[in-house]
Chain A
Amino acid sequence: MTIKEKLKKLLVEELNLEDMTPEEILDDAPLFGEGLGLDSLDAVELVVLVQKHFGVEIKDMDEGRPALQSVASLAAFIEEKLAK
Chain B
Amino acid sequence: MTALAIEGIGVVGGFGCGLDALRQALDSGFSPIGALKTGPGEEEGSRPAFLAESSQLEAFLPKRAFRRIDHFARLALLGSHLALQDAGRLEENRQRLGVVIATGYGAARTTFSFLDSVLDDGDTCASPTNFSNSVHNAAAAHVSILLGATGPSLTVSQFEMSVFSALLTARQWLLEKRVDAVLFGGVDECGPVLGYCHERFFGEECKEMTPLLFDRQSAVVGEGAAFFLLTRGGEGAGRYGFLSDLGFGRLSAGGPKMPGNALLLIGADGHARCGAGYGALVPRGAEVAAYAPLYGSLPVGSAFDLAVAGLTLREGRVFAQPGPAPENVLWRAASPGALGDRPVCGLKIDGEGVFGSFTVQHGPS
Contacts and interface: CB of A to CB of B under 8 A. Distances in A.
A is bound by B = yes
Interface of A: 15-19, 41-42, 44-45, 48, 51-52, 57
B146 to A, nearest CB: 14
User: Which among B64, B67, B124, B128 has the highest number of chain A CB atoms within 10 Å?
Assistant: B128
A48 B63 contact: no
Contacts of B67: 15-18
Interface in B119-175: 121, 124-129, 132
Nearest to B130: A45
Given A51-B124, A52-B121, A41 B64 contact: no
B125 A51 contact: yes
Nearest to A45: B129
A57 to B, nearest CB: 8
Contacts of A45: 127-129
Given A42-B68, A48-B117, A51-B124, 4 more contacts: A15-B68, A45-B129, A48-B128, A51-B125
Interface string B90-133: 00000000000000000000000000010001001111110010
Interface string B54-95: 000000000110011000000000000000000000000000
Contacts of A15: 67-68
B57 to A, nearest CB: 13
Contacts of B132: 41
Nearest to B127: A48
A48 B125 CA distance: 5
Contacts of A16: 67-68
B128 A18 contact: no
Nearest to B120: A52
Given A16-B68, A41-B68, A41-B132, A52 B125 contact: yes
5 contacts: A15-B67, A42-B129, A45-B129, A48-B127, A52-B121
B142 to A, nearest CB: 12
Contacts of A48: 117, 124-128
A18 B63 contact: yes
B246 to A, nearest CB: 37
A19 B126 contact: no
Interface pairs A-B: 4 shortest CB-CB: A16-B67, A44-B128, A52-B125, A45-B129
